[in-house]
């Protein structure tokens, strides 16, 4: 007897475990590849997976094999020109006549990269890994749409867990009263009659006995009304509503003077990415404004923001002024949630730092939901930091953090999340 079995609906993802093991095993390489990938990505582009490539030699499975050399005598097909005894020049290494099957596989492709695709979740997971985000926030960020469940009255059906006892019992009571009222009226009448009969004819008169039987029957009827019935049940009704989202604008302000090297920019980029991701789950529509500055500030597109190099001195206030102008002209208060993120190595022209503080204090912070300043420097805090420190007490929507490694970015966000997730 033959069997034809349909296995198409059997458990899928049988290889998921093996895939995880693979990822765990090559975590170092994958992480490196992810951080390379981040360099090339737009900060708005975090909803996709990523093509990852790692050198195949890192993940080879070694075996005892013959190497090159010695004597090889092998058969090939399709002779079109040779006769026995012909001498042929050796083809250049690796190509040409090549070797037989067994050899081709372990020599030809040795140098290629092993390329595979990471899903969005896997990508973000590795991205977050560096930033030392706690799990709760990871999952919050990785979620794409956010719904809020809210109460919406009561329904007549639902899951038993949602039964609203007070409502149900109230309904039951009302029903019992309504159904029972003719009988209770009758009962009251009978009781009166009985009292009258007893007074007139005495306890044991046949009339009294008949009335008592009647009363018992009516009582039984009242008791037969069910205490609770399935149509008394009321369930709490909850509906999912998308969270009210509005629009936000995010200002990325970065110092691009000579002292900001690629590595510092990469750290700054992570910070901006994370802020974007955070805003992305809170607001439906986000605009990003990139402002870069050295001695003068300029609004640029993202590519120029991260990739073109400048040199020269630093006047931070120029950028803040520009930011204020942009806010005033394009993002009138009220309609827009304004977020600011400033990254710098803290180097500023000495006389300019108090001006920056002044600007933030009066022109920018009052309009911002949140303004975060990160100083990417391994050394001592610079003058800008000292000035900004004075703002800390006065404004709740201001945060600052010194960063040496990407993992230091998180504390800034902890503040931010505390506020909005609470």
Sites of contact with other proteins (CB under 8 A): 1-8, 10, 12-15, 17-26, 59-80, 82-90, 97-102, 104, 106, 114-117
3-class secondary structure for 387-410? HHHCCCCCCCCEEEEEECCHHHHH
Measured from the CB atom, the residue of 83 and 145 that comes closer to other proteins is 83
Closest separation between CB of residue 122 and other proteins, Å? Answer: 12
Sign of the dihedral through C-alpha 28, 30, 36, 41: negative
Torsion of CA 165, 166, 168, 170, to 10 degrees: 160
Closest separation between CB of residue 20 and other proteins, Å? Answer: 7
Question: Which residues are paired to 248 by β-bridges?
Answer: 286, 337
Measured from the CB atom, the residue of 79 and 335 that comes closer to other proteins is 79
The H or E element spanning position 93 is none
Closest separation between CB of residue 49 and other proteins, Å? Answer: 13
User: For residue 316, what are its two tokens?
Assistant: 């931070």
Measured from the CB atom, the residue of 18 and 149 that comes closer to other proteins is 18
Closest separation between CB of residue 232 and other proteins, Å? Answer: 49
User: For residue 5, what are its two tokens?
Assistant: 């079995």
Measured from the CB atom, the residue of 53 and 237 that comes closer to other proteins is 53
- The whole-angstrom separation of Cα 331 and Cα 340 is 13
Closest CA to 30 of 96, 138, 117, 107: 117
Closest separation between CB of residue 79 and other proteins, Å? Answer: 4
Strands 398-403, 370-376: pairing kind: parallel
Closest separation between CB of residue 89 and other proteins, Å? Answer: 6
Closest separation between CB of residue 76 and other proteins, Å? Answer: 4
Question: Which contacts qualify for 319-322: CB closer than 8 Å, 24 or more apart?
Answer: 319/253, 319/255, 319/291, 319/292, 319/293, 320/253, 320/356, 320/359, 320/360, 320/363, 320/364, 321/297, 321/359, 322/291, 322/293, 322/297, 322/298
Measured from the CB atom, the residue of 108 and 312 that comes closer to other proteins is 108
Taking a C-beta distance cutoff of 8 angstroms, is the pair 305, 292 a contact?
yes
Closest separation between CB of residue 169 and other proteins, Å? Answer: 50
Measured from the CB atom, the residue of 59 and 152 that comes closer to other proteins is 59
Measured from the CB atom, the residue of 66 and 333 that comes closer to other proteins is 66
Measured from the CB atom, the residue of 66 and 390 that comes closer to other proteins is 66
């Amino acid at each position: 007897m033959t069997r034809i079995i349909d296995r198409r609906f059997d458990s899928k993802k049988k290889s998921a475990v093996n895939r995880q093991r693979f990822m765990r095993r090559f975590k170092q390489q994958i992480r490196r590849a992810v951080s390379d990938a981040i360099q090339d990505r737009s900060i708005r582009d975090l909803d996709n997976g990523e093509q990852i490539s790692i050198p195949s030699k890192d993940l080879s499975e070694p075996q005892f094999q013959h190497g090159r050399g010695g004597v090889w005598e092998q058969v090939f097909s399709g002779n079109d020109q040779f006769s026995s005894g012909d001498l042929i020049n050796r083809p250049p290494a690796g190509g040409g006549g090549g070797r037989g099957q067994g050899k081709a596989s372990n020599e030809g492709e040795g140098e290629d990269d092993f390329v595979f695709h990471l899903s969005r979740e896997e990508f973000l997971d590795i991205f977050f890994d560096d930033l030392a985000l706690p799990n709760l926030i990871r999952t919050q960020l990785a979620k794409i749409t956010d719904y809020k469940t809210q109460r919406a009255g009561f329904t007549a059906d639902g899951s038993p867990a949602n039964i609203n006892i007070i409502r149900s019992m109230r309904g039951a009571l009302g029903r019992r009263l309504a159904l029972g009222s003719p009988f209770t009226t009758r009962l009251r009448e009978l009781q009166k009659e009985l009292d009258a009969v007893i007074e007139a004819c005495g306890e044991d008169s046949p009339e009294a006995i008949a009335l008592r039987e009647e009363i018992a029957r009516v009582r039984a009827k009242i008791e037969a009304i069910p205490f609770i019935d399935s149509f008394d049940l009321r369930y709490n009704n909850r509906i999912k509503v998308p969270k009210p989202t509005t629009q936000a604008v995010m200002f990325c302000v970065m110092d691009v003077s000579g002292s900001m090297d690629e590595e510092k920019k990469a750290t700054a980029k992570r910070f901006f990415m994370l802020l974007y991701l955070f805003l992305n789950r809170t607001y439906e529509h986000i605009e990003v404004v990139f402002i870069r500055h050295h001695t003068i500030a300029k609004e640029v597109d993202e590519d120029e923001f991260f990739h073109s190099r400048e040199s020269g001195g630093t006047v931070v206030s120029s950028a803040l002024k520009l930011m204020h102008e942009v806010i005033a002209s394009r993002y009138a208060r009220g309609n827009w949630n304004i977020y600011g993120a400033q990254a710098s190595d803290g180097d500023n022209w000495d006389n300019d730092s108090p001006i920056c503080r002044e600007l933030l204090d009066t022109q920018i912070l009052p309009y911002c939901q949140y303004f975060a300043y990160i100083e990417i420097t391994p050394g001592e805090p610079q003058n800008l930091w000292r000035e900004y420190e004075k703002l800390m007490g006065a404004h709740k929507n201001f945060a600052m953090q010194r960063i040496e490694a990407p993992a230091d970015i998180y504390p800034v966000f902890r503040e931010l999340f505390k506020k909005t997730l609470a």
